[in-house]
Chains A and B, each alone.
Chain A
Amino acid sequence: MRIPTAALFGLFFTGLYFFIAIFADYIAPYGLGEIVGDVWEPARLGYFLGLTPDGYDEPQYWLGTDQIGRDLLTRMIYGGQTTIWIATMATILSFSTGTIMGFVAAVNGGWIDQALSRFIDLVMSIPSLIVALVVLSVLDTTVTTLILVMGLLDSTRVFRLARAVAVDITVMDYVEAARLRGEKVAWIIFREILPNALSPLVAEMGLRFIFMVLFISTLSFLGIGVQPPAADWGGIVKDNKDGINFGIGAALYPAVAIATLAISVNLVADWILNRTTSLKGGRG
């Protein structure tokens, strides 16, 4: 099987980010809260790229230091760990809830489908950021509540997709044929529907994961996500945003990290979707 270059690129970077997240404790050069230098020391990376003004020595830290003198590379690595962990858990929660409810609605039809679908319509009639803000205004913002709020809010979208995909499949003659044969609901869901629904769902999983990364970063940036002293990418922006007005770009590293992660996952999701739709696409 040939993997296209774009997908390889995506797979490599997605893998790299997860690797760094998992082994953050071994990779990070300093401790999470360790103050190692002055406020906003310039980056060594920038020095090599010729971005540091003349007359400076070669800086010590690859990405420089943050607003209270902590090593930014360390902060970014631990921040990535937090962000990716929360996004992954929220995606898993949103996916398991969303697909199970969606399939149940599609296979059963009738009032179960109606009740679930109308309820989801209701929740989706308000933007999820607004609902999250409203709910988090009274809840303690721990990692668990964040995962629960984000995952459950997002499961509405997964529900719609899973239901739509499953409904498309249940009207197929081969599902009818299985029903006429006398097959049980479990066989129909797991043997007839799931294999055909898997590819759009897996591709969607990638997109939901990206959305979760953006969501948690936004919440942390607004000050209602991950709380200090823990670090996450959105929080790093919030901490260092004042530097921007002095031309210090420390707050922009998360932009690069989030964008590359999101694009990589996108490329992988695209590839999965294309690869599997072509399987269905009849004779070549």
Chain B
Amino acid sequence: MATPLLSVRGLKIGARVYPPDAKPHDIDIVHGVDFDVEAGKVLGLIGESGAGKSTIGLAAMAYGRGGVKLTGGEVWVNGRDVLQSGTRDVRRLRGAEVTYVSQSAAASFPPAKRLMEQVIEAAVLQGKFSKSDAEARAIELFRKVDLPEPETIGNRFPHQVSGGQLQRCMTALALCPEPDLVVFDEPTTALDVTTQIDVLKAIKEAIRDTGVAALYITHDLAVVAQVSDHIMVLRQGEMVEYGTTDQIINAPVEDYTKALVSVRSIEHVEKTPTETPLLRVEGITARYKGTKFDVLKNINVELHPGQTLAVVGESGSGKSTLARVITGLLPPSQGNIHFNGRDLSAALKTRTRDDLRELQMIYQMADTAMNPRQTVGTIIGRPLEFYFGLKGAEKKKRIKELLEEIEMGDGFIDRYPAELSGGQKQRVCIARALAAKPKLIICDEVTSALDPLVADGILKLLLDLQKVEDVAYLFITHDLATVRAIADSIAVMYQGEVARYGGKTDVLSPPFDDYTDLLLSSVPEMRLGWLEEVIANRKMASGGN
């Protein structure tokens, strides 16, 4: 067997941390990892946050981000250990043999330079191409990654192209010097799902056409399954499992891998609508102050007691604005909201205390949804005090019950939000909402900031609570897997309008309208060959026109 292109042995990575109450000290982030990447092959590195996957990826370039230090082991690239190489040699490696595509292309391009200049910089500097050759190659790569106007797009500035286009530019930038290996660090995570598939397709085809090897880092197993030959599962700086993509997806060995593969496999059978809806949104049109266009245009949806309406859409679809209108934060310019058999006043200030109590909200970022200066007990206790006048022992008893309900013990009463994990924080927010004994909870992207397994736990909890408390959810999300798991009815939103609305099964069954079709077919599925299928289908469809 030929020597692998990249060979990592016993890699250890440490970092200096600065905890508030103790002296700065060193901790290990990666505790000895081994893997190989052969020429022209793609290895997927997958794990949740804190798994050390980005750090390992950057180690292939002998780079430690921030205070990160490569403390031990070997990283062999093209037959030499780059951890032992001198600065000059490392510089020749970076940008020539190994290149990098980051998660946020928007921040990675300096704002004041034209795209072309940035894309060809490394290739020219490293003496791989002359300026004119590099430009010709860049244009060819722009075409390859499906950028519009490939001949002239290089003359634009970074802020003059869209996020998805910039991410593709960065791929062109990484491929321009004809590297042997490209490190892709969550290149599609920040993108909307319909944009993600285009970038994913561009990356996949570019890898195939140029024969470059790649390290593909992501937290999304379904995505990595589409592009990689092998997958390594990481957890807290250690390898959990390594195998071919086929084996990891179809026959995982370790429990952790199995959990990752079966994530979002919650079964939820759609409930039938009751006679009278709990919430009826009628002809809502809304715009923000000082703007000239409607963010919501004539929205009509219903939600039945004890059920879940999922409002799904991409960024800019107006789904969060709908939540603001229902809560009264943004009075609509037209339309009415009926709630629990009465008309809900448009503005927050004129709503009754019962209106406020029966309509609660849970936020995406649990971090900013809780006052960092209040304990869990105060946070959950305040609605009890405010709405029901509970005090002292009575209040404490109820707080303990609520903590039980969210599967946290009463030991958490005196903790501050900063002392909780991401999942625990979101649970406390759920308890705060439940404390008001609401009829409806608006859940705004409540799982999007969480790791998949933690998110799963939250979704299961929400479903269980729905059964016990008979509460309805208006569930706002961009994630169709979540929708499948939890919804009874679905409203697909696109550019401020409801593109499709109905029971879950109806909405998710053909025939589709164009947008829903695009959206549904863009969600990565956890199986091999899904991306090729979608690309082929879309080619066929456009060929048919």
Contact = CB atoms under 8 A, between A and B. Distances in A.
A and B assemble together: yes
B356 A181 contact: yes
B365 interface: yes
Given A174-B371, A177-B432, A278-B21, 5 more contacts: A172-B368, A179-B329, A181-B356, A280-B418, A284-B19
Interface string A160-197: 00000000000011101101111100000001100110
A229 interface: no
A283 B373 CA distance: 14
Given A176-B329, A180-B361, A282 B418 contact: yes
A237 to B, nearest CB: 42
A55 interface: no
A129 to B, nearest CB: 37
B288 interface: no
Nearest to B359: A180
B539 interface: no
B372 A181 contact: no
12 contacts: A2-B21, A173-B369, A177-B369, A180-B328, A180-B356, A180-B361, A182-B353, A195-B371, A280-B372, A284-B19, A284-B21, A284-B22
B356 A174 contact: no
B86 interface: no
A281 interface: yes
A181 B20 contact: no
B368 A278 contact: no
A138 interface: no
Contacts, number: 62
Contacts of A283: 418-421
Nearest to A182: B356
A155 B365 CA distance: 35
Interface in B337-376: 348, 351, 353, 356, 359-361, 363, 365, 367-373
B386 A281 contact: no
Given A173-B363, A183-B386, A192 B371 contact: yes
Interface in B440-472: none
A181 B383 contact: yes
Contact of A196 (B367, B372, B421): B372
B20 A279 contact: yes
B372 A173 contact: no
Interface in B264-298: none
B327 interface: yes
B418 A281 contact: yes
Contacts of B420: 283
B204 interface: no
Interface string B1-39: 000000000000000010111100000000000000000
Contacts of B382: 181
Nearest to A174: B371
A282 B419 CA distance: 7
Interface string B85-127: 0000000000000000000000000000000000000000000
Contacts of B369: 173-174, 177
A279 B371 contact: no
Main secondary structure of the interface of A (DSSP, over half): helix
B386 A181 contact: yes
A182 B351 CA distance: 9
Contact of B371 (A180, A181, A196): A196
A279 B383 contact: no
Contacts of A278: 20-21
Nearest to B421: A283
Nearest to B419: A283
Interface string B428-448: 000010001000000000000
A279 B373 CA distance: 9
Contacts of B17: 284
Contacts of A172: 368
Contact of B373 (A196, A281, A282, A284): A196
A278 B21 CA distance: 8
A182 B386 contact: yes
A179 B421 CA distance: 26
Nearest to A275: B20
Contacts of A281: 20, 418
* Most A-side CB within 10 Å, residue of B356, B373, B382: B373
A144 to B, nearest CB: 38
A179 B330 CA distance: 13
Nearest to A192: B371
Contacts of B436: 181
B373 A179 contact: no
B274 to A, nearest CB: 26
A192 B328 CA distance: 20
Interface string B394-430: 0000000000000000000000001111000000000
Interface string A263-284: 0000000000000001111111
Contacts of A192: 371
Interface in B200-240: none
> Which of A177, A279, A281, A283 has the most chain B CB atoms closer than 10 A to its own CB?
A177
Contacts of A183: 386
B201 to A, nearest CB: 36
A192 B370 CA distance: 10
A33 B365 CA distance: 65
Contacts of A191: 371
A174 B421 CA distance: 18
Contacts of A179: 329, 348
B20 A284 contact: yes
Closest 4 A-B residue pairs measured CB to CB? A278-B20, A284-B19, A195-B373, A173-B369
